[in-house]
Chains A and B, each alone.
Chain A
């Protein structure tokens, strides 16, 4: 069943891909006999054949995931998306502290340990990557403002 649903969704995407390949893509002038459209056409036909084979003869019947696990997975994805959204606004250190603490707490670490882990990962990760390896990580608008305020105070 799951196999069929997944293959069905992929089939819709592939059909859209095929329609574009057969109608929309064309070069104003071309030197090679195939042009930009033939290769996607071949691929789409092949993919449709594979998908039909799976639809007719599926083998995975169940996901084997319990409701609790679904919730845990959904929560993980929510936390990941939040981490991605807050990455630049909060900066690496703050967002990593929040993310590390939240995810490890959700996965079963004690609250205190989770916070310690988050703070360690955020601060140590920033120091290691920015000062030692010279990588580019977001400071975050908040941290930037604090640093600016501190430097202005130093000047006055």
Chain B
């Protein structure tokens, strides 16, 4: 407990520094703007702005605070285009359209926006509080992890990825493997042998993380926007003067509480971020409280549940990223890569070795959540005007930002061609129902996975049995198996139950 308070004190000392405070606000503001743009979600926003934030030459804690602000700002902003346009910014905001858009069409856009802002705030704050309690404990436990345990942890991470993310398990696994394979390019740190460099000096140190991220996310997103190009403007519903009522909040308070818990714990699971969390929370809430069949036609609870859950998941996803070095979602994988670029290895020692980074980030999230609520309630009209930016200006703007960001890293124009090529590859992957988050997760975790496997086998002198001797690793393998088998079993059971009830009726 004492460690918690001293940690928070360190954190707030960092986060309340005027410059960092400015960065929190700027990040939240920019994030909300990006999230509000139709089609652009948190992951693309962070990907496009990451090289620029890196190029500005801030300290690691300041850069991370800025990026994290953009991240959860965009989770906040995503609801605006969902509610007013019925176009979700990313997968995490899909569930918000189900009840949010009908409310706006019924002339209650202001009520829907303010209610979802409050639900997001509660979900986000709840996640940060749990995070400050859990993260140091988890870090203290993770210090005892051996290399073999880390290997088991990776297997668990990829198992939960495969079972919960994307439409097809095989494609998700293949995506992750492509990421792992990309990560093997470059000089092997243990022996100094060059792998897959083909004598090209530019990639001796490996393919630059920023190029992969901007190419796969930023440029692929640009191509999707071109593909789905609609002539003229999308019709956005107007923001009216209606506002959330106390009765709405009273009706939603248990919904928000339940969804925050669901969101946080799903967020912790490696690789599964806001999209899974909001879908599960909406589904659970529908089962629990949809007695009058009002979900899907503008029920306030149907709006509050996914919003609370996806913001809680954004916080939850930070926990494994900071304490284990294993990102909880695609976007936190990018943040992890950002930390690695600053030569900071996130993991159990982060809280003791670099407390200003870990706690500074946590403290900035407390401030950011309050700031987001404050700027979102009165300024929602301003953000809503972002929706009317025609796509033919938005699309070139993404490319210009991506090019600026990539060029400023080392000033190599070859990199610009690289991101274009990766963008085309990423667009094909997306078209064929691969999700891109596993690729980036694999790319970020590749080095760690290989190092730990080799370290574990060095300890045992080449005996593979070391991977399953510790109770911790066995536990993780069991969890991995559960996470793969449980959804299959649950869906079978659900189908059988449906079959039974259908038989009853007939």
Q: Chain A contacts of B177 at CB under 8 A?
A: 43, 46-47, 50
Tell me if B400 counts as interface (CB < 8 A to partner A): yes
Q: Are the CB atoms of A40 and B191 closer together than 8 Å?
A: no
Tell me if B490 counts as interface (CB < 8 A to partner A): no
Q: Chain B contacts of A134 at CB under 8 A?
A: 56-57
Give A residues with C-beta under 8 Å from B: 2-3, 6, 10, 14, 17, 20, 25-27, 30-36, 38-40, 43-44, 46-47, 50-51, 53-54, 57, 59-60, 63, 65, 69, 72-73, 76-77, 80-81, 83-85, 87-88, 92, 96, 99-100, 103-104, 107-109, 114, 117, 121, 125, 129, 133-138
Q: A40-B184, A60-B433 are in contact. Are A34 and B453 (CB under 8 A)?
A: yes
Q: Are the CB atoms of A104 and B393 closer together than 8 Å?
A: yes
In-complex Cβ contact of B196 among A17, A35, A88 (8 A): A17
Q: A77-B424, A104-B393, A135-B404 are in contact. Are A88 and B181 (CB under 8 A)?
A: no
Among residues of B, the one whose C-beta sits closest to the C-beta of A62 is B431
Among residues of B, the one whose C-beta sits closest to the C-beta of A87 is B413
Complex Cα spacing A49 to B393, Å: 43
Whole-angstrom distance between the Cβ of B184 and the nearest chain A Cβ:
5
In-complex Cβ contact of B400 among A32, A39, A73, A96 (8 A): A96
Q: A40-B181, A43-B180, A81-B420 are in contact. Are A107 and B226 (CB under 8 A)?
A: yes
Q: Chain A contacts of B56 at CB under 8 A?
A: 133-135
Interface residues of B in 434-476 (CB under 8 A from A): 450, 453-455, 457-458, 461-462
- Among A20, A32, A73, find the residue whose CB has the most chain B CB atoms closer than 10 A: A32
Q: A87-B416, A88-B413, A109-B390 are in contact. Are A73 and B396 (CB under 8 A)?
A: no
Q: Are the CB atoms of B408 and A20 closer together than 8 Å?
A: no
Q: A121-B400, A137-B404 are in contact. Are A17 and B181 (CB under 8 A)?
A: yes
Among residues of B, the one whose C-beta sits closest to the C-beta of A109 is B392
Query: What are 9 A-B contacts with C-beta separation under 8 Å?
Result: A25-B193, A40-B195, A47-B177, A60-B432, A85-B413, A107-B229, A129-B408, A133-B56, A137-B407
Complex Cα spacing A121 to B431, Å: 30
Tell me if B178 counts as interface (CB < 8 A to partner A): yes
Q: A40-B181, A73-B227, A76-B223 are in contact. Are A121 and B196 (CB under 8 A)?
A: no
Q: Chain A contacts of B52 at CB under 8 A?
A: 133, 135
Q: B385-399 vs A: 1/0 string, CB under 8 Å?
A: 000001111011101
Complex Cα spacing A35 to B170, Å: 28
Complex Cα spacing A10 to B439, Å: 14
Complex Cα spacing A136 to B57, Å: 12
Q: Chain B contacts of A34 at CB under 8 A?
A: 453-454, 457-458, 462
